[in-house]
Amino acid sequence: MKRQKRRQILQAGLGLVVVTPLLAAVRKGRFDAAAEILRNATASGVIESATFYVRWKDDIFSQAYGGAATADASFLLGSISKPMVVAAIMSLFDEGEFKLDDRVVKYLPEFQGDGRESISMRQLLTHNSGLPDQLPENAKLRASHAPLSEFISAAIRTPLLFKPGAKYSYSSMAILLASEVAQRVTQKPIAVLVDEVVCQPLQLKQTALGIGRLHEESLMRCQVERAAPESGAGDPAAKSWDWNSDYWRRLGAPWGGAFSSSPNVARFLDAFLHPQGKMLQARTARMMIQNHNPANMKARGLGFDLGSDLKGPAREDVFGHSGSTGTICWADPTTDSVCVVLTTLPGRALTLHPRELVSRGVAETLDA
């Protein structure tokens, strides 16, 4: 029954494509049916650009669609940036610079009052600190082209939503403050740390937090109509600070400002499936993809989402992340597989987003 429902979703979703049963697709090409969703979505103009990468053991499928000339095209990742940034932060854990249960105030002395003194590094990385997702003054800061330091100052002062540790509440500002701890410890911008810890060791040549060494003309432009509210939601008045603005691209926001290609994102995930010590110690890599939240709270790794919310295999040990810019990625230890779907269509633009249909299609094929 569950498989039948998935097939119906793939067949009916968005009116983009009538997909043959994925079991049949295994015989002619394991991921052809899932790929057809993106092929039709870009051909119809629903999505301007997309790439799709799947690795299942030694079998690799990689393809570009629409305005993406090759699979190496770099897309704005949105919140897939978070696990990359947290990996860079955790390199300091490897070096003994902090412990997960250290209080944040130890590194940010001004982070006091309203219960802030009790917030731990672990709570920042698992979204139960009480900090909001976005700042109340987010639009004002972006419209004034504020530097990252102003976001950090505001996040340190912003009122908490609840008592730290009381519940799960997704927080981009928590990741921002965790990155500020890393900046103060290393005296390096977080974008530099990501490059040194993540990009260079893994040879992610199409990846950077912000533009970095990437060529601006190689970056895929986001579709901004019906985009996330914090990015301007497609309002023409937000053009100077939306996802495609020079300001946002160069800001390098730790919570959503990384660019990468689908093969690079897959290589990053593989570094956790098969840790080799190039980026982090193997035990630390394994720690990042384990649940750190209490049993009565949404499961989260360190920077990673876990489980069925990724629209992939319905297993608790599946890890990855999605992004409001229209991206999703996951890795499944059970099948030794990685799936990455990068699109330019905002995640909020459609209830059944093509990235989710593709992700579910890949999961069904792997579980067939």
Tens digit of each residue's pLDDT (9 = 90 or more) over 283-302: 999 999 999 999 999 999 99
The pLDDT tens digits of the residues spanning 215-252 come to: 998 999 999 998 999 999 999 999 999 999 999 999 99
What percentage of the chain carries pLDDT values higher than 90?
Answer: 89
Q: How confident is the model at residue 5 (pLDDT cuts 50, 70, 90)?
A: very low
pLDDT of residue 271: 98
Q: How confident is the model at residue 131 (pLDDT cuts 50, 70, 90)?
A: very high
Superfamily of domain 75-306 in CATH is DD-peptidase/beta-lactamase superfamily (3.40.710.10)
Residue 348 CA to residue 346 CA, distance in Å, equals: 5
pLDDT of residue 29: 73
Q: How confident is the model at residue 17 (pLDDT cuts 50, 70, 90)?
A: very low
Mean pLDDT of 313-324: 96
pLDDT of residue 14: 46
pLDDT of residue 30: 84
pLDDT of residue 308: 87
The pLDDT tens digits of the residues spanning 54-101 come to: 999 999 999 999 999 999 999 999 999 999 999 999 999 999 999 999
What residue spans define the domains of the chain? 75-306
Place of tokens 């500020």: 180
Q: From edge to edge, which strands make up the β-sheet containing 59-66?
A: 59-66, 49-56, 337-343, 327-332, 319-323, 305-306
pLDDT of residue 152: 98
pLDDT of residue 141: 98
Q: How many CA atoms lie within 13 A of 276 on its CB side?
A: 10
pLDDT of residue 192: 98
Q: What is the CA radius of gyration of the chain?
A: 20
What's 290's DSSP letter? S
Point out the least confidently predicted range of 115-124, 188-197, 358-367: 358-367
Mean pLDDT of 110-127: 97
Helix 172-186 × helix 148-157 angle, to 10°: 110
Q: How confident is the model at residue 206 (pLDDT cuts 50, 70, 90)?
A: very high
Beta bridge partners of 61: 54
Residues 355 and 328: beta-carbon distance below 8 Å? yes
Q: How confident is the model at residue 8 (pLDDT cuts 50, 70, 90)?
A: very low
pLDDT of residue 201: 98
Mean pLDDT of 97-126: 97
Query: Got the DSSP string for 164-190?
Result: TTSS----HHHHHHHHHHHHHHHTS-H
